[in-house]
Chain A
Amino acid sequence: MGTVIVVTSGKGGVGKTTSTAALGAALAAGGDSVAVIDFDVGLRNLDLVMGAERRVVFDFINVVQGQAKLAQAMIRDKRLPNLFLLPASQTRDKDALTEDGVRRVIDALRASFDWVICDSPAGIERGAILAMRHADAAIIVTNPEVSSVRDSDRIIGMLDSRTIKAEGGVAIPKHVLVTRFDADRASRGDMLAIDDILEILCLPLLGIIPESQEVLKASNLGAPVTLANPASAPARAYADAVQRLKGDSVAMTIPSDKKSLFSGLFRRAA
């Protein structure tokens, strides 16, 4: 039985899709079988970030409504044979996803993959609730910025009340993934510090993804940043986050792209 993880945030544009692709690819690169699901019906983008947009034939809604089999809709990644994408529909309404249909798809994927990662739409409405409904664990993507932290707090409240596990009285593990972090600005006191965010949200930290140009370069190319440039700072930060997700303890560092020649050599030798 695989683990179902929801990547959520409340606020849009904080890096849910980027993080879903990066974490999914890093898990798959480590040998685990991974299915990533785009729950953003009508505004799908996970296919684009992963470079699979021209290979979408059937989607999540087609499967839920019985027009396609799950295996027909799953897109196998061209780089990693154990990484699969279930795209959202671009043309249908978000109400086309049904509670029962989502449950059937998740149950089937959970039975055959090590990890099922659900990329939630922004907001706190039906789509976001369906994405979190079956989660065994949650990753809350947060930018070091007031509106993102506030919305994270709101979504944490929903994770504690609207998931199937929560309704059964079981709290699911929740982790904060801070993205777009700028250590220089935080040290100058002009960006919320990691400790501030964790203290406010009262949750453990999964990782700190530094602000980096590599993220945009990777999405331009249609590759998860962990595959596009594994040596880049965000890719290393996502790789560390994946180790923590698997239960390993990894020292919390903020990787930097501004590394010296020596640290680069050292890193490769290590």
Chain B
Amino acid sequence: MIFGMFKRRSTAPVARERLQVLLAHERALLGRSDLLGTLREEILAVIARHVHIDPDKVRVEAGRKDTVSTLKVDIELPSEGLTMAA
């Protein structure tokens, strides 16, 4: 403990590095734009061309684990949803 006091590392470089790593991830996923909103709209448009779906039943979520980023798209289809749209 006493040795720790003498060779105390400054903390700001740690903060800087943590922020750089974190923000690189968050910018890629959330983007400096509304990436999730855009994805949701475009995925919805593609599916709606073929299947009747309720726009409120489409969920797009981004997640992050230690080494991978995930994108979860959850679309609820009505029972008759798989009949082709006109």
- Residues of A whose CB lies within 8 Å of any CB of B are 145-146, 149-150, 153-154, 156-158, 160-162, 186, 188-193, 196, 200
Contacts and interface: CB of A to CB of B under 8 A. Distances in A.
A250 B16 CA distance: 27
B12 interface: yes
B22 interface: yes
Contacts, number: 48
Give the size range of B's interface with the partner. Answer: 10 to 19
B12 A189 contact: yes
Interface of B is mostly: helix
Interface in B1-33: 10-13, 15-16, 18-20, 22-23, 26-27, 30-33
Given A186-B12, A193-B12, A157 B27 contact: yes
A154 B11 contact: no
B34 interface: yes
A128 B80 CA distance: 40
A161 B32 CA distance: 8
A175 B53 CA distance: 43
Given A150-B22, A160-B33, A162-B34, A192 B27 contact: no
Contacts of B26: 150, 153-154
B19 A200 contact: yes
Contact of B12 (A154, A157, A190): A190
Given A149-B19, A150-B19, A150-B23, A157 B30 contact: yes
Contacts of B10: 188-190
A186 B27 CA distance: 26
A56 B69 CA distance: 50
A196 B12 contact: yes
16 contacts: A145-B15, A150-B26, A153-B27, A154-B30, A157-B27, A157-B33, A158-B34, A160-B33, A161-B33, A161-B34, A186-B12, A192-B15, A196-B16, A200-B19, A200-B20, A200-B23
A191 B16 CA distance: 10
A164 to B, nearest CB: 15
Given A149-B19, A153-B27, A200-B19, A192 B32 contact: no
B76 to A, nearest CB: 25
Given A160-B33, A161-B33, A161-B34, A191 B12 contact: yes
B59 to A, nearest CB: 18
B15 to A, nearest CB: 5
Nearest to B16: A196
A150 B30 CA distance: 13
